[in-house]
Structure 1
């Protein structure tokens, strides 16, 4: 039996945005469907991501919902067109869907920002570091699941090696740098890897040292994926049960401001490299 395709995070986001547009226009599902000349059930299936939608119908929906923001409409069309399965689908049966959503978001992002307090960002972890992190999960993962998760994490990192990679800015707290995950040899290798990555043109790494004291966003682990327009950005928050996605406009504005403030109080990139080097020498 052929397995039914599961709508990806971008297809689901399209449905969410179309529902938001209709509601902002003050239309019920019945009224929106009548304007399109389709049944209310068809419109509900589009908004629930069960049905696809053509660029022509998207333009019609935008007109009906009185949306004239060209870049936003173009972004919705991109979401509708790009429905090919990515590499993450090979993990569909063995990893939580939220991890597949994260990989899909990163793959299609026009830019990425992260802020981490307790851990090195997943996009910058070495194989040994990642494996040790997964070994510490409670309840314990099986050896097979650990290897699946390590493989998935390493494949996520491939976006940083693309011919035209998305710019990536990572703010990392000193606490994450000083924890000797896997022992001193693994920890030193991880810090050396951060230094190597920080020299790449499209990657900016900044450190939040203990000396700054309290800072905005402390305790949070944030990944901000930029879309084709700010209205289509997405925030991934690392929680005990896995990544949680946030895409409401007010929340996106708040996280944009938060990350900007964190970058302001963090050490500049050159000073951050020197700081990481000093920690590595102590191992």
Structure 2
């Protein structure tokens, strides 16, 4: 199979993890290629996600790199093969590639934890609320761009409604609940939707009210997507230009897990949060 010049996030992540294993084993690309009986160019392309790799070769690489973590090796083996053309691929020509990769990452994640200060989580937004956000983007989007973004966002929400829904936890600051995007009617609809979603057994919503004495956040929104093993977790950060940044270094994962745990501890409980949102809805 010829190399690809546009590897997906999943392909790049597999290559990154294989590179990490090689480096921990103290092997150069040249030495690794000798152990595997392939040329060093093949190893380099695998590590950058530009060359497809079989599950068998992944296991051979793990063995050559003295990786004894069988759970990790098994998880890496499942990431091999041809690109799975999910619904998100139809947006690859219309949206930034990072947004398309995010949809695939969400589709495959085992659990999703998010924290937001200014905005309602994307997977919990109503169509009217999301449309009002896209209309306020600077510079303004064309109408067809808004519709692409909107349908993409609504399809992403499918992971919460499928037969095997993803476990989803959201920490939302009171500021986000009071922003009022779209006006009172849209805001009431959005708050009501949050209440409805919070009743789903796999969805947990917690509110951090104004006046909380301790809030371990800089105000930046982020998602924490859990993989089949902790080493394959991913942090997604929103960027000012409307895209996404993905983090997967071990130290970064540890940091953001700790931040989420601390934010959870200072937020209202799920039942108290429902009462809080209900009261805001009455006020709106």
Q: Report the TM-score when normalising by structure 1.
A: 0.97
Task: Report the RMSD for the aligned CA atoms in angstroms.
Answer: 1.1
CA distance in 2, matches of 1:96, 1:52: 23
Q: Match for residue 57 of structure 2?
A: 57
Q: Match for residue 282 of structure 1?
A: 283
Q: Match for residue 269 of structure 1?
A: 270
Q: CA deviation at 1:86?
A: 1.2
Aligned 1:214-225 pairs, distance under 5 A: 214-225=214-225
CA distance in 1, matches of 2:218, 2:276: 20
CA distance in 2, matches of 1:113, 1:102: 14
Secondary structure at 2:206 match in 1 = strand
Q: Match for residue 33 of structure 1?
A: 33
Q: Report the TM-score when normalising by structure 2.
A: 0.96
Q: CA deviation at 1:239?
A: 1.2
Q: Match for residue 183 of structure 1?
A: 183
CA distance in 1, matches of 2:233, 2:83: 18
The Cα offsets for residues 201-260 of structure 1, whole Å up to 9 and x where unpaired, read as 000000000020440024020101100000000000111121100000110011111101
Worse-matched range after superposition: 29-38 or 208-217: 208-217
Q: CA deviation at 1:82?
A: 6.8
Cα 1:192–1:209 change in 2 (3 A) is: same
- Contact in 2 for aligned 1:117/1:218 (Cα 8 Å): no
Q: Match for residue 195 of structure 1?
A: 195
- Contact in 2 for aligned 1:221/1:237 (Cα 8 Å): yes
Which sections of structure 1, spanning at least 5 residues, go unmatched? none
How many residues are matched? 280
Secondary structure at 1:172 match in 2 = strand
The Cα offsets for residues 9-58 of structure 1, whole Å up to 9 and x where unpaired, read as 11110011111111111111000000000000111111111111111111
CA distance in 1, matches of 2:92, 2:56: 32
Q: Match for residue 114 of structure 1?
A: 114
Q: CA deviation at 1:83?
A: 2.8
Deviating above 3 A after TM superposition, structure 1's stretches of 4 or more consecutive aligned residues are none
Q: CA deviation at 1:101?
A: 1.1
Aligned 1:204-283 pairs, distance under 5 A: 204-241=204-241, 242-283=243-284
